[in-house]
Amino acid sequence: MGKRRPLLRAGLELANAANGVRPFGRDGYPTIPAFFLGWPTSEMAPLYMVGSMLGALWRWVRGDYATRGGRIALLLKVITWGLLYLIHRRNVESQPYFEEPLREALGDRYEEVAAQSQPMRRRRLTHVVPNDFILRRYVEKTNVVRYGPHPRANFADIWRRHDLPRDGKAPVLLQVPGGAWSIGMRRPQAYPLLSHLAERGWVCVSIDYRVSPRHTWPDHIVDVKRALAWIKEHIAEYGGDPDFVAITGGSAGGHLAALAALTPDDPQYQPGFEDADTSIVAAVPIYGRYDWFTTKGPGRWEFVFILLQRFVVKKRFTKHLQIYRDASPITRVRPDAPPFFVLHGVNDSLIPVPEAREFVAALRDVSKDTVAYAEIPHAQHAFDFFGSPRGHYTAQAVEKFLSWVHAQRDQR
Protein backbone atom coordinates (compact mmCIF):
# COMPACT_ATOMS: atom_id res chain seq x y z
CA MET A 1 0.00 0.00 0.00
CA GLY A 2 2.74 2.41 1.08
CA LYS A 3 2.59 6.12 0.38
CA ARG A 4 0.05 5.89 -2.42
CA ARG A 5 -2.75 4.29 -0.41
CA PRO A 6 -2.91 5.77 3.09
CA LEU A 7 -6.70 5.94 2.87
CA LEU A 8 -7.04 2.23 2.13
CA ARG A 9 -4.68 1.30 4.94
CA ALA A 10 -6.49 3.56 7.41
CA GLY A 11 -9.85 2.14 6.31
CA LEU A 12 -8.69 -1.41 6.93
CA GLU A 13 -7.37 -0.49 10.38
CA LEU A 14 -10.68 1.18 11.23
CA ALA A 15 -12.64 -1.86 10.07
CA ASN A 16 -10.47 -4.13 12.17
CA ALA A 17 -10.98 -1.96 15.26
CA ALA A 18 -14.74 -1.78 14.65
CA ASN A 19 -14.82 -5.58 14.37
CA GLY A 20 -13.03 -5.71 17.72
CA VAL A 21 -15.67 -3.49 19.28
CA ARG A 22 -18.48 -5.63 17.88
CA PRO A 23 -17.84 -8.61 15.58
CA PHE A 24 -19.17 -8.21 12.05
CA GLY A 25 -19.88 -11.94 11.63
CA ARG A 26 -22.66 -13.39 13.76
CA ASP A 27 -23.92 -16.23 11.59
CA GLY A 28 -22.46 -18.78 9.19
CA TYR A 29 -19.03 -18.66 7.60
CA PRO A 30 -18.35 -14.92 8.21
CA THR A 31 -17.96 -15.73 11.90
CA ILE A 32 -14.58 -17.33 11.19
CA PRO A 33 -12.75 -14.27 9.80
CA ALA A 34 -14.63 -12.07 12.28
CA PHE A 35 -13.17 -14.13 15.09
CA PHE A 36 -9.61 -14.46 13.81
CA LEU A 37 -9.34 -10.73 13.10
CA GLY A 38 -11.25 -9.51 16.14
CA TRP A 39 -9.85 -11.89 18.75
CA PRO A 40 -6.29 -10.48 19.07
CA THR A 41 -7.59 -6.95 18.60
CA SER A 42 -10.08 -7.31 21.45
CA GLU A 43 -7.42 -8.62 23.85
CA MET A 44 -4.27 -6.75 22.76
CA ALA A 45 -5.66 -3.36 21.71
CA PRO A 46 -2.75 -1.37 23.25
CA LEU A 47 -0.25 -3.16 21.03
CA TYR A 48 -2.34 -2.42 17.95
CA MET A 49 -2.65 1.22 19.01
CA VAL A 50 1.08 1.67 19.56
CA GLY A 51 1.86 0.04 16.22
CA SER A 52 -0.71 2.18 14.44
CA MET A 53 0.59 5.39 16.02
CA LEU A 54 4.20 4.61 15.17
CA GLY A 55 3.18 3.83 11.61
CA ALA A 56 1.21 7.07 11.39
CA LEU A 57 4.19 9.05 12.69
CA TRP A 58 6.46 7.51 10.07
CA ARG A 59 3.97 8.27 7.30
CA TRP A 60 3.54 11.83 8.58
CA VAL A 61 7.28 12.39 8.28
CA ARG A 62 7.18 10.79 4.84
CA GLY A 63 4.44 13.19 3.75
CA ASP A 64 1.61 10.69 3.23
CA TYR A 65 -0.92 12.97 4.94
CA ALA A 66 -0.21 16.13 2.94
CA THR A 67 -3.04 15.50 0.44
CA ARG A 68 -6.78 15.69 1.04
CA GLY A 69 -7.01 11.90 0.96
CA GLY A 70 -4.12 11.71 3.39
CA ARG A 71 -5.88 14.02 5.84
CA ILE A 72 -9.02 11.87 5.66
CA ALA A 73 -6.81 8.84 6.31
CA LEU A 74 -5.35 10.52 9.37
CA LEU A 75 -8.86 11.26 10.65
CA LEU A 76 -9.75 7.59 10.23
CA LYS A 77 -6.61 6.73 12.18
CA VAL A 78 -7.71 8.95 15.06
CA ILE A 79 -11.13 7.27 15.09
CA THR A 80 -9.38 3.90 15.10
CA TRP A 81 -7.31 4.89 18.12
CA GLY A 82 -10.47 5.93 19.92
CA LEU A 83 -12.05 2.52 19.25
CA LEU A 84 -8.91 0.71 20.38
CA TYR A 85 -8.91 2.73 23.60
CA LEU A 86 -12.57 1.79 24.12
CA ILE A 87 -11.72 -1.89 23.62
CA HIS A 88 -8.89 -1.73 26.13
CA ARG A 89 -10.98 0.18 28.68
CA ARG A 90 -13.73 -2.43 28.44
CA ASN A 91 -11.14 -5.15 28.96
CA VAL A 92 -9.62 -3.51 32.04
CA GLU A 93 -13.02 -2.75 33.57
CA SER A 94 -14.41 -6.28 33.11
CA GLN A 95 -13.21 -7.65 36.47
CA PRO A 96 -16.59 -7.29 38.27
CA TYR A 97 -18.20 -9.56 35.67
CA PHE A 98 -15.89 -12.34 36.84
CA GLU A 99 -16.27 -11.66 40.55
CA GLU A 100 -19.97 -10.90 41.00
CA PRO A 101 -21.22 -14.28 39.67
CA LEU A 102 -18.97 -16.01 42.20
CA ARG A 103 -20.30 -13.85 45.02
CA GLU A 104 -23.84 -14.61 43.92
CA ALA A 105 -23.28 -18.37 43.67
CA LEU A 106 -20.84 -18.93 46.55
CA GLY A 107 -21.82 -16.23 49.02
CA ASP A 108 -20.35 -12.93 50.14
CA ARG A 109 -17.57 -14.65 52.07
CA TYR A 110 -16.38 -16.82 49.20
CA GLU A 111 -12.94 -15.19 49.09
CA GLU A 112 -12.42 -15.83 52.80
CA VAL A 113 -13.42 -19.46 52.35
CA ALA A 114 -11.17 -19.82 49.29
CA ALA A 115 -8.25 -18.39 51.26
CA GLN A 116 -8.53 -21.34 53.66
CA SER A 117 -7.70 -23.89 50.98
CA GLN A 118 -4.40 -25.71 51.05
CA PRO A 119 -2.82 -23.97 48.00
CA MET A 120 -3.35 -20.54 49.52
CA ARG A 121 -1.35 -21.52 52.59
CA ARG A 122 1.68 -22.28 50.40
CA ARG A 123 2.37 -18.70 49.36
CA ARG A 124 5.64 -18.69 51.31
CA LEU A 125 7.25 -21.19 48.97
CA THR A 126 10.47 -19.79 47.57
CA HIS A 127 10.05 -20.25 43.81
CA VAL A 128 7.79 -17.67 42.17
CA VAL A 129 6.10 -18.34 38.84
CA PRO A 130 5.20 -15.08 37.05
CA ASN A 131 1.60 -14.72 35.94
CA ASP A 132 2.41 -14.69 32.25
CA PHE A 133 1.44 -16.82 29.27
CA ILE A 134 4.99 -17.51 28.03
CA LEU A 135 5.93 -20.04 30.69
CA ARG A 136 7.11 -23.20 29.00
CA ARG A 137 10.32 -23.04 31.02
CA TYR A 138 8.29 -23.64 34.21
CA VAL A 139 7.17 -27.04 32.95
CA GLU A 140 9.93 -29.38 34.09
CA LYS A 141 11.13 -31.36 31.10
CA THR A 142 11.22 -34.54 33.15
CA ASN A 143 7.52 -33.97 33.76
CA VAL A 144 6.39 -34.30 30.15
CA VAL A 145 4.61 -37.60 30.42
CA ARG A 146 2.76 -40.05 28.21
CA TYR A 147 -0.65 -40.87 29.68
CA GLY A 148 -2.06 -43.24 27.07
CA PRO A 149 -1.21 -45.76 24.34
CA HIS A 150 -1.21 -43.40 21.35
CA PRO A 151 2.38 -42.19 20.89
CA ARG A 152 1.64 -39.16 18.72
CA ALA A 153 -1.18 -37.76 20.83
CA ASN A 154 -1.19 -38.91 24.44
CA PHE A 155 1.30 -36.49 25.97
CA ALA A 156 0.86 -34.12 28.88
CA ASP A 157 2.78 -31.33 30.59
CA ILE A 158 2.77 -31.29 34.36
CA TRP A 159 2.88 -27.81 35.82
CA ARG A 160 4.21 -27.68 39.37
CA ARG A 161 6.45 -25.48 41.41
CA HIS A 162 9.96 -26.83 41.69
CA ASP A 163 9.77 -26.52 45.46
CA LEU A 164 6.41 -28.28 45.77
CA PRO A 165 6.83 -31.34 48.05
CA ARG A 166 6.43 -34.64 46.24
CA ASP A 167 4.21 -35.81 49.08
CA GLY A 168 2.30 -32.53 49.26
CA LYS A 169 -1.15 -33.80 48.17
CA ALA A 170 -1.74 -30.59 46.23
CA PRO A 171 -5.08 -30.15 44.43
CA VAL A 172 -4.97 -31.02 40.74
CA LEU A 173 -6.41 -29.39 37.63
CA LEU A 174 -6.66 -31.08 34.22
CA GLN A 175 -6.58 -28.60 31.32
CA VAL A 176 -8.16 -29.77 28.04
CA PRO A 177 -7.19 -27.58 25.05
CA GLY A 178 -9.58 -26.35 22.40
CA GLY A 179 -9.25 -26.22 18.63
CA ALA A 180 -12.53 -27.41 17.05
CA TRP A 181 -11.69 -31.05 17.90
CA SER A 182 -9.09 -30.83 15.12
CA ILE A 183 -6.07 -29.16 16.77
CA GLY A 184 -5.98 -29.91 20.51
CA MET A 185 -2.44 -28.64 21.21
CA ARG A 186 -1.58 -28.37 24.90
CA ARG A 187 0.82 -25.48 24.23
CA PRO A 188 0.32 -22.56 24.66
CA GLN A 189 -3.33 -22.64 25.75
CA ALA A 190 -4.47 -21.52 29.24
CA TYR A 191 -0.99 -20.31 30.25
CA PRO A 192 -2.32 -17.47 32.45
CA LEU A 193 -4.50 -19.94 34.35
CA LEU A 194 -1.89 -22.69 34.64
CA SER A 195 0.83 -20.33 35.83
CA HIS A 196 -1.51 -18.66 38.33
CA LEU A 197 -2.52 -21.98 39.88
CA ALA A 198 0.99 -23.44 39.81
CA GLU A 199 2.30 -20.41 41.69
CA ARG A 200 -0.24 -21.11 44.42
CA GLY A 201 0.74 -24.71 44.90
CA TRP A 202 -1.55 -26.55 42.50
CA VAL A 203 -0.45 -29.34 40.20
CA CYS A 204 -1.81 -28.77 36.69
CA VAL A 205 -1.87 -31.28 33.85
CA SER A 206 -2.25 -29.99 30.28
CA ILE A 207 -2.85 -32.64 27.63
CA ASP A 208 -2.81 -33.33 23.93
CA TYR A 209 -5.43 -35.76 22.60
CA ARG A 210 -6.38 -37.43 19.34
CA VAL A 211 -8.03 -35.00 16.93
CA SER A 212 -10.05 -35.04 13.72
CA PRO A 213 -10.12 -35.64 10.83
CA ARG A 214 -7.36 -38.20 11.40
CA HIS A 215 -9.33 -39.60 14.34
CA THR A 216 -13.04 -40.01 14.84
CA TRP A 217 -15.37 -39.29 17.72
CA PRO A 218 -15.38 -40.51 20.50
CA ASP A 219 -11.56 -40.79 20.44
CA HIS A 220 -11.32 -37.24 21.81
CA ILE A 221 -13.31 -37.86 24.99
CA VAL A 222 -11.77 -41.31 25.43
CA ASP A 223 -8.34 -39.66 25.64
CA VAL A 224 -9.61 -37.14 28.20
CA LYS A 225 -10.90 -40.07 30.25
CA ARG A 226 -7.55 -41.83 29.90
CA ALA A 227 -5.83 -38.72 31.16
CA LEU A 228 -8.11 -38.65 34.19
CA ALA A 229 -7.41 -42.32 34.87
CA TRP A 230 -3.66 -41.68 34.60
CA ILE A 231 -3.90 -38.74 36.98
CA LYS A 232 -5.75 -40.79 39.58
CA GLU A 233 -3.05 -43.46 39.41
CA HIS A 234 0.15 -41.39 39.06
CA ILE A 235 -0.31 -37.77 40.12
CA ALA A 236 0.74 -38.50 43.72
CA GLU A 237 4.25 -39.08 42.35
CA TYR A 238 4.34 -35.36 41.47
CA GLY A 239 2.88 -34.07 44.71
CA GLY A 240 -0.75 -34.05 43.57
CA ASP A 241 -3.81 -35.32 45.37
CA PRO A 242 -5.64 -37.99 43.31
CA ASP A 243 -8.73 -37.40 45.45
CA PHE A 244 -9.05 -33.79 44.33
CA VAL A 245 -8.98 -33.54 40.54
CA ALA A 246 -10.85 -30.73 38.78
CA ILE A 247 -11.15 -30.17 35.03
CA THR A 248 -11.26 -27.15 32.73
CA GLY A 249 -10.97 -26.34 29.04
CA GLY A 250 -11.94 -23.76 26.44
CA SER A 251 -14.04 -24.11 23.29
CA ALA A 252 -13.79 -27.78 22.22
CA GLY A 253 -11.91 -28.29 25.48
CA GLY A 254 -14.85 -26.74 27.32
CA HIS A 255 -17.15 -29.25 25.65
CA LEU A 256 -14.87 -32.15 26.56
CA ALA A 257 -14.39 -30.90 30.14
CA ALA A 258 -18.15 -30.57 30.68
CA LEU A 259 -18.86 -33.96 29.10
CA ALA A 260 -16.18 -35.67 31.17
CA ALA A 261 -17.56 -34.09 34.36
CA LEU A 262 -21.07 -35.30 33.57
CA THR A 263 -20.14 -38.86 32.51
CA PRO A 264 -17.97 -40.22 35.34
CA ASP A 265 -16.95 -43.86 34.89
CA ASP A 266 -19.17 -44.15 31.79
CA PRO A 267 -18.07 -47.36 29.99
CA GLN A 268 -19.25 -45.88 26.67
CA TYR A 269 -16.21 -43.59 26.75
CA GLN A 270 -13.79 -45.88 28.60
CA PRO A 271 -13.14 -48.83 26.27
CA GLY A 272 -10.60 -51.16 27.82
CA PHE A 273 -10.43 -49.24 31.08
CA GLU A 274 -14.04 -49.41 32.18
CA ASP A 275 -13.13 -49.89 35.84
CA ALA A 276 -10.93 -46.78 36.06
CA ASP A 277 -12.06 -43.90 38.22
CA THR A 278 -12.70 -40.85 35.98
CA SER A 279 -14.78 -38.77 38.38
CA ILE A 280 -13.85 -35.16 39.08
CA VAL A 281 -14.64 -32.75 41.93
CA ALA A 282 -15.34 -29.57 39.92
CA ALA A 283 -15.62 -28.41 36.30
CA VAL A 284 -14.84 -25.05 34.68
CA PRO A 285 -15.83 -25.08 30.99
CA ILE A 286 -15.01 -21.82 29.21
CA TYR A 287 -16.78 -20.69 25.98
CA GLY A 288 -17.65 -24.33 25.29
CA ARG A 289 -20.04 -26.17 22.99
CA TYR A 290 -22.74 -27.96 24.96
CA ASP A 291 -25.18 -28.96 22.20
CA TRP A 292 -24.24 -31.17 19.23
CA PHE A 293 -27.74 -31.85 17.91
CA THR A 294 -29.70 -28.60 17.51
CA THR A 295 -29.61 -27.48 13.88
CA LYS A 296 -31.50 -24.18 14.10
CA GLY A 297 -29.87 -20.95 15.20
CA PRO A 298 -26.83 -18.84 14.20
CA GLY A 299 -24.12 -21.08 12.77
CA ARG A 300 -25.80 -24.29 13.93
CA TRP A 301 -26.29 -25.84 10.48
CA GLU A 302 -22.63 -25.35 9.51
CA PHE A 303 -21.45 -26.64 12.87
CA VAL A 304 -23.50 -29.85 12.78
CA PHE A 305 -23.47 -30.78 9.09
CA ILE A 306 -20.07 -29.45 8.02
CA LEU A 307 -17.76 -29.71 11.02
CA LEU A 308 -19.26 -32.56 13.03
CA GLN A 309 -20.80 -34.76 10.36
CA ARG A 310 -17.94 -34.49 7.84
CA PHE A 311 -14.83 -34.19 9.99
CA VAL A 312 -15.45 -35.22 13.62
CA VAL A 313 -18.21 -37.83 13.94
CA LYS A 314 -18.12 -38.88 10.28
CA LYS A 315 -21.60 -40.41 10.50
CA ARG A 316 -24.80 -39.06 9.02
CA PHE A 317 -26.59 -36.88 11.50
CA THR A 318 -30.06 -38.05 10.50
CA LYS A 319 -29.19 -41.74 10.90
CA HIS A 320 -27.04 -41.52 14.02
CA LEU A 321 -28.72 -38.76 16.01
CA GLN A 322 -28.14 -40.57 19.32
CA ILE A 323 -24.35 -40.27 18.94
CA TYR A 324 -24.70 -36.50 18.65
CA ARG A 325 -27.11 -36.33 21.58
CA ASP A 326 -24.88 -38.49 23.77
CA ALA A 327 -21.94 -36.20 23.00
CA SER A 328 -23.90 -33.14 24.16
CA PRO A 329 -23.29 -32.11 27.78
CA ILE A 330 -26.73 -30.46 27.86
CA THR A 331 -28.34 -33.91 27.58
CA ARG A 332 -26.12 -35.31 30.35
CA VAL A 333 -27.03 -32.93 33.17
CA ARG A 334 -27.67 -34.86 36.38
CA PRO A 335 -28.60 -34.23 40.02
CA ASP A 336 -25.19 -35.41 41.27
CA ALA A 337 -23.18 -33.21 38.90
CA PRO A 338 -20.06 -31.70 40.51
CA PRO A 339 -19.80 -27.95 41.09
CA PHE A 340 -19.63 -26.03 37.80
CA PHE A 341 -18.26 -22.61 36.92
CA VAL A 342 -19.21 -21.73 33.32
CA LEU A 343 -17.70 -18.68 31.58
CA HIS A 344 -18.64 -17.22 28.20
CA GLY A 345 -18.15 -14.00 26.24
CA VAL A 346 -21.11 -11.99 24.96
CA ASN A 347 -19.28 -11.13 21.69
CA ASP A 348 -18.33 -14.73 20.96
CA SER A 349 -18.47 -15.13 17.17
CA LEU A 350 -17.86 -18.87 17.01
CA ILE A 351 -20.12 -20.11 19.82
CA PRO A 352 -22.97 -17.67 20.47
CA VAL A 353 -23.59 -16.94 24.13
CA PRO A 354 -27.18 -18.32 24.19
CA GLU A 355 -25.68 -21.82 24.07
CA ALA A 356 -23.97 -21.24 27.41
CA ARG A 357 -27.12 -19.73 28.89
CA GLU A 358 -29.18 -22.76 27.86
CA PHE A 359 -26.64 -25.19 29.29
CA VAL A 360 -26.44 -23.34 32.61
CA ALA A 361 -30.23 -23.20 32.86
CA ALA A 362 -30.52 -26.93 32.17
CA LEU A 363 -27.79 -27.73 34.71
CA ARG A 364 -29.32 -25.53 37.39
CA ASP A 365 -32.69 -27.19 36.89
CA VAL A 366 -31.39 -30.58 38.03
CA SER A 367 -28.04 -30.23 39.79
CA LYS A 368 -28.00 -30.26 43.58
CA ASP A 369 -24.57 -28.61 43.67
CA THR A 370 -23.22 -25.14 42.86
CA VAL A 371 -23.55 -23.76 39.35
CA ALA A 372 -21.84 -20.38 38.84
CA TYR A 373 -22.08 -18.55 35.52
CA ALA A 374 -20.00 -15.57 34.39
CA GLU A 375 -21.08 -13.83 31.20
CA ILE A 376 -18.40 -11.36 30.10
CA PRO A 377 -19.59 -8.31 28.13
CA HIS A 378 -17.71 -7.50 24.90
CA ALA A 379 -15.51 -10.61 25.24
CA GLN A 380 -14.70 -12.55 22.06
CA HIS A 381 -14.06 -16.28 21.84
CA ALA A 382 -10.78 -17.38 23.50
CA PHE A 383 -10.65 -14.26 25.67
CA ASP A 384 -8.41 -16.00 28.24
CA PHE A 385 -5.62 -17.00 25.84
CA PHE A 386 -3.37 -13.96 26.05
CA GLY A 387 -1.89 -12.30 29.10
CA SER A 388 -4.55 -9.59 28.80
CA PRO A 389 -6.63 -8.22 31.69
CA ARG A 390 -9.41 -10.67 30.84
CA GLY A 391 -6.89 -13.50 30.76
CA HIS A 392 -5.72 -12.62 34.26
CA TYR A 393 -9.25 -12.04 35.57
CA THR A 394 -10.21 -15.48 34.27
CA ALA A 395 -7.26 -17.08 36.04
CA GLN A 396 -8.05 -15.32 39.30
CA ALA A 397 -11.76 -16.15 39.19
CA VAL A 398 -11.19 -19.82 38.34
CA GLU A 399 -8.59 -20.14 41.10
CA LYS A 400 -10.98 -18.63 43.67
CA PHE A 401 -13.79 -20.93 42.59
CA LEU A 402 -11.65 -24.05 42.71
CA SER A 403 -10.04 -23.00 46.01
CA TRP A 404 -13.54 -22.49 47.42
CA VAL A 405 -14.50 -26.02 46.35
CA HIS A 406 -11.25 -27.33 47.84
CA ALA A 407 -11.82 -25.54 51.15
CA GLN A 408 -15.40 -26.81 51.32
CA ARG A 409 -14.22 -30.40 50.88
CA ASP A 410 -11.51 -29.93 53.51
CA GLN A 411 -14.16 -28.84 56.01
CA ARG A 412 -16.25 -31.97 55.54
Query: Can you give the pLDDT at residue 33?
Result: 87
Cis ω for the linkage preceding 188 (within 30 of 0): yes
pLDDT tens, position by position, 233-280 = 999 999 999 999 999 999 999 999 999 999 999 999 999 999 999 999
Would you say residue 351 has pLDDT above 90? yes
How does the average pLDDT of the chain come out, rounded? 91
Q: Among 17-31, 46-60, 301-315, whose mean pLDDT is lowest?
A: 17-31
Cis ω for the linkage preceding 354 (within 30 of 0): no
Query: Can you give the pLDDT at residue 124?
Result: 45
Phi, psi for residue 153 in degrees, rounded to 5: -130, -35
Query: Can you give the pLDDT at residue 130?
Result: 44
Classify domain 95-291+328-410 at the CATH superfamily level: Alpha/Beta hydrolase fold, catalytic domain (3.40.50.1820)
Would you say residue 126 has pLDDT above 80? no
pLDDT tens, position by position, 104-121 = 999 999 999 999 886 645
End-to-end CA separation in angstroms for the chain: 66
Mean pLDDT of 206-235: 97
Q: Give the bridge partners for 202, in sequence order.
A: none
Please name which of 111, 200, 156, 140 lies closest in space to residue 407, comparing C-alpha atoms: 111
pLDDT tens, position by position, 163-173 = 888 888 999 99
Percent of the chain with pLDDT over 70: 91
For 215, half-sphere exposure in the C-beta direction (CA atoms, 13 angstrom radius) is 19
Query: Can you give the pLDDT at residue 400?
Result: 97
Catalytic residue ranges: 251, 348, 381
pTM recorded for the entire structure: 0.92
Query: Can you give the pLDDT at residue 43?
Result: 94
Rounded to an integer, what distance in angstroms lies between the CA atom of residue 69 and that of residue 54? 20
Would you say residue 123 has pLDDT above 80? no
Query: Can you give the pLDDT at residue 133?
Result: 42
